[in-house]
Structure 1
Amino acid sequence: MNSTDSTDTPLLISDEDGIRTMTLNRPAARNAVNLALATAIDAAVTELDERDDLVVGIIAANGPTFSAGMDLKAFLRGERPVTPGRGFAGLVEAPPRTPLIAAVDGPAVAGGFEIVLACDLIVAAENAFFALPEVKRGLVAAGGGLLRLPGRLPYHLAMELALTGKQISAADAANLGLINQVVEPGTALQAAKALAAEIAVCGPLAVATTKQILQDSPSWTAEEAFSRQSDLCDPVRSSVDAVEGARAFTEKRSPVWTGR
């Protein structure tokens, strides 16, 4: 599935070399999320998980703002930008099994920051900043920001950002380990694609399972950790791709993955 560059299309989609790039395309509205955009993201990440030829996804944005969060004009009209099962932006409550990289050029605030936090890797331009200003509007950051931020930043700093709505710069976020790379303005997508390419050459089953273990294991007890890990790893170890990976290594060639 590939979308053309049109402002009538809220989400642009491009698939290449195992990478799906999903570009928020409401620049006139600062890429605020309405129901149409949320529905498009839901469909795009659902298909991302279903496709054997796609190993990693990128979420980027057109225009000078990554996303201003929920479309408040649509909210006042009674619209809620949520989808069944995935929640706000068709993403935050149930991100895909496939790893996601956020390519952030410009501000990512409110629900925009929560979209970023739902991703597994974050590349941000020097001019990017992040904030959860919901409390300033009499709202609560209920799109995953309050749930995810304490696990990514020191507790007291997460509390300060959430209670005051203060901004954090890309540079400060990188120093705190919140994001992976800080790059020059206008190059976040290019850098995210380079990072995605490093993932895309790996086995898709192994990549998805590795993400799942890293994501789920903090809630496992020490007694169950290895058995639960084995339950996830054993199907990968017995897969066609595992045989192909070993054979390609011995034959000194690049593997041809099938996702099986």
Structure 2
Amino acid sequence: MADSSVSVSVPQQHTLLIALNRPNQRNAITPDLAREIGHVLDWFDNEPSLWVVVLTGEGDTFCAGADLKSWHASQSSDVISEQQDIASSLHGFASISRRRTSLKPIIAAVNGPAYGGGVEIILNCDLVVASTDAVFALPEVKRGVVAAQGGIPRLARVAGHQLASEMLLLGNTITALEARDKYRFINIITSPAEVLPTALALARTITSNSPDAVQSTKEGLLIAQHVGNVDEAVVSHALSAASGRVWNGQNIKEGLAAFVEKRTPKWTNPAKL
């Protein structure tokens, strides 16, 4: 997309690459950019030939969160409207932080610092690769606002109440190493030059697997986050449309045949649900 705040490409088979493209504004998110990202991801979700998306930022910052200058200029005096906007947002910050409808994996290639909503985006990704010089913060309390678009419950789940409180109540910055080993929302740390290649390598591993099985497995993970016990989660997952597609589709037949014949499976695009 020329002259756009988001760059979109297909760098390898079955993989969409989205790059936030406001490097001079540290890839801060405006309402227009959020809508643009949403349109791209809605298209991605409905394109059977694309099985995984990698998200990164242009320049030396992943995402500085909301564009505070834009937010300040457009802030409504209607407090109830602000609250309702958050509560009714289908996909959350940047159309990513609460995106629950997509069963396709999202990989974050964190090329530099992530603040506020940038961290909320990362917390809703399935796999996260971060640069050694990336840093992370949820500094909303320092600006009189709240990490209200999914960051609070997600961080509490992965890090626990007390560690989540350190980030959320103090608003302090942490390193990539702390994000991986202490707060547990980073998978891989690598050199700045290797962040995107590493993320794309993970995408290739994912796309070497059955897309039907991958998407059903992600659905199982999402169900597990919202259901109170194992039996209920298993039943909900087993009876879902994505699971039905696995058991009734061509890729399960291809996977089993390839195993018996000792060859590499040749997966086909999954049927639309």
**Fold match by TM threshold 0.5:** yes
Mean CA deviation greater in 50-59 or 25-34? 50-59
Deviates more, 1:202-211 or 1:216-225: 216-225
1:253, CA displacement in angstroms? 3.2
Q: Distance in 1 between matches of 2:200 and 2:107?
A: 9
In structure 2, C-alpha distance between the alignment counterparts of 1:220 and 1:200, rounded to whole Å: 31
Match among 198, 201, 205 for residue 198 of structure 1: 205
The code of the aligned residue for 2:109 comes to A
Match of 1:77 in 2: 73
RMSD of equivalent CA atoms: 1.9
Distance 2:37 2:55 in 1: 9
Equivalence for 1:159: 165
1:1-260 mapped onto 2 (5 Å cutoff): 3-4=1-2, 8-15=3-10, 16-78=12-74, 85-95=90-100, 96-176=102-182, 177-218=184-225, 219-232=227-240, 233-251=243-261, 252-260=263-271
Cα offsets for 1:39-78 (capped at 9, x unmatched): 1211121112111111111110001111110011111221
Instruction: Give unmatched runs, 5+ long, in structure 1.
Output: none
**Which range is displaced more, 231-240 or 208-217?**
231-240
Moved >4 Å (runs of 4+): 79-84
Residue in 1 that maps onto 2:79: none
Question: 8 Å contact 1:52–1:204 — kept in the other structure?
Answer: no
Partner residue, 2:78 = none
Letter in 1 for 2:252: A
Query: How many Å separate the matches in 2 of 1:240 and 1:51?
Result: 18
Task: Give a deviation string over 1:158-186, Cα, whole Å, max 9, x none.
Answer: 11110010111101112133210000023
Encode CA deviations 1:115-158: one digit per residue, 9 max, x unaligned.
11111111000000111000001111112111210111132111
Identity %: 36
CA contact (8 A) 2:93 2:120 kept: no
Give the AA of the match of 1:13.
V
Is residue 54–residue 204 contact of structure 1 (8 Å, CA) maintained in 2?
no
- Tell me the amino acid that sits aligned with residue 175 of structure 2: S
Q: SS of the counterpart of 1:186?
A: helix
Mapped partners of 1:9, 1:223: distance in 2: 46
- Provide the C-alpha distance between the structure 1 equivalents of 2:156 and 2:126, rounded to a whole number of angstroms: 15
Q: Secondary structure at the match of 1:246?
A: helix
Q: 1:223 to 1:203 in 2, by over 3 A?
A: closer
Compute the displacement of 1:84 (Å): 5.3
Shift in Å, 1:211:
0.6
Q: What CA distance in whole angstroms lies between the structure 2 residues aligned with 1:22 and 1:154? A: 31
CA separation in 2, counterparts of 1:222 and 1:71?
41
Contact 2:115 2:138 in 1 (8 A): yes
User: Quick one: structure 1 residues 134 and 221, their matched pair in 2 at CA, closer, same or farther if it must change by over 3 Å?
Assistant: same
Q: SS of the counterpart of 1:199?
A: helix
The aligned length equals 255
The Cα of 1:188 is off from its aligned counterpart by 1.1
Q: Which amino acid aligns with 1:25?
A: N
Q: Deviations over 1:213-245 (max 9, x none)?
A: 012124243442332232132331111221222
